[in-house]
Amino acid sequence: MNRLTALKAAALVGVGLTLSGCIVESGRAEQSRSIGGATPCPVAVDPSVTGTVRIGWQEIPNGDLIVKDTGLLNTCLPNVKTVWSKFSSGGDVIQAFGANSLDIGLLGSAPAAKALSAPLNIDMKVIWIQDRIGAAESLVAKDPALKTVADLKGKRIAVPFASTAHYSLLTALDKAGVTDAQVINLAPDAIRGAWNGGQIDATYIWEPTLSQLKGSPLTDSAKVAEQGAPTFDLEGARADFVQNNAAFLTVWSAAQGWAANLLNTDPNKAAEHIAGQLGVPLEQVLTQVKGYAYFDKATQAGPDYLGGQLGADIRRTAEFLLQQGQVQGVGSAQHYTDGVYGEAAK
C-alpha cells in the first residue's frame, strides 16, 4: 500500500557531547514541580557526576513524568543540572538527536526504527522501555456511522507521522484492505483543532488527546499488536552520550525503575505525579494508565525486552516502514540489536 508520501526529515549526526557540554535546548523547557528531596533516591546518591543533561518528554502517562515531577534525578545526582523540554512526537525527538540538541528523549518504537534505518541512520541507542502501548493509543472516527477500519475508505485520517500511532494506523489500514484513505500529518494539538473543526474523519492518537475526543473506537494498539505489530514508548539517547555517561545512566535507570514499580504497585500515587505534570484530573490519569503495560528493571533487562527481543521487534517495524516508503533501507539484525543498550537496566 503506498498511500503515503514518505516523511522528509533531514538530520545531521551530531558530534560527541559529554555531561560537561553546553546546553542547546529544543522543545519547550520545563522544570519539576517538586521542591526537592521529598522522594528518597532508590540508590546511593552520587555527587561525583556533574554537568547538564537535556531530556525530552512528551504528554504520555508513564514513569518519565513521575521522575520529572518528583525531581528524583536532582535528589540522586545533586551536581547534575537536568533540562526537561517538551516534544509533540517522536519525529521531533529524532530531529533533535540528529541536530545534537538533545541527550535523552521519549520516542515510540516506530520513530526509533526510522532513526536507526536509512536514510537517517542516527547513531542512537534505546536505553529503556517506558511502556508497551495498548488501548491508550487508538483509532477513533468522528462519525458514529463509521464502525470498522474498512469503513475508512476515502476518509481523511490524521496522525503524527513517524510515530507509533502512524505505524499502527498503517498496519490497521493494510489488514483492512484500505488503499485510498487520505492520511494527514498533524501533531496532537492540531488534531484536536481539526477534529473540532470537522476537517478530519478519524484519527489514530494517544492519551491524553484521545480522551479529549468524542469518537467511535475502531481499533487500538492492543488489537494491532495481536496482528503482529506491537508498539512501545521507548527512551532513546545519542550513542555518544551513552558511551560517555554510564554512571549517569545507571542512576537514571534506577530512578525510572522506581517509577515503573510505583505505577504497578501504587497507581494512585503514581497518577498524582502524572496528573500534576499534565494538568488533568486524577481520575483521568487513572483511566489512561490502564491502557499501558509498565515493566520494572528486572523485566526490562530480560530476554523479552532490552536483553534480547526488542532489537528484533524494532527491525520488524523498520521492515514494515520500508514497505510503506517511510525508510529507504533496513540494516542487519545485528544493527538493531546494537541499537539497544541494556547495561544500565542490568
User: Max alpha carbon distance in the chain (Å)?
Assistant: 61
Q: Residue 127: which of 306, 295, 261 has the closest Cα? A: 306
Average pLDDT (178-198) is 96
> What does the angle CA 303 – CA 345 – CA 166 come to, to the nearest 5 degrees?
70
Query: Which residue blocks in the chain are alpha helix, DSSP H?
Result: 63-70, 72-76, 90-98, 109-116, 164-176, 188-196, 209-212, 221-226, 239-244, 246-265, 267-278, 282-289, 297-300, 309-323, 333-338
pLDDT higher for 62 or 4?
Answer: 62
Average pLDDT (91-113) is 95
Q: Which residue has the cell 488534531?
A: 191
With the C-alpha atoms ordered 141, 145, 150, 154, is the resulting torsion angle positive or negative?
Answer: negative
Average pLDDT (139-164) is 95
pLDDT at 16: 27
Tell me: pLDDT of 228 over 70.
Answer: yes
In single-letter form, the type of residue at position 207 comes to: E
**Are residues 216 and 146 in contact, defined by beta-carbon separation less than 8 angstroms?**
yes
Tell me: pLDDT of 10 over 70.
Answer: no
| Banded model confidence at residue 23, pLDDT cuts 50, 70, 90 | very low
Tell me: pLDDT of 36 over 80.
Answer: no
**pLDDT tens, position by position, 279-336:** 999 999 999 999 999 999 999 999 989 988 899 999 999 998 898 788 999 999 999 9
**Are residues 343 and 246 in contact, defined by beta-carbon separation less than 8 angstroms?**
yes
Main-chain phi, psi angles of 211, to 5 degrees = -70, -20
pLDDT at 32: 55
| Banded model confidence at residue 34, pLDDT cuts 50, 70, 90 | low
| Banded model confidence at residue 275, pLDDT cuts 50, 70, 90 | very high
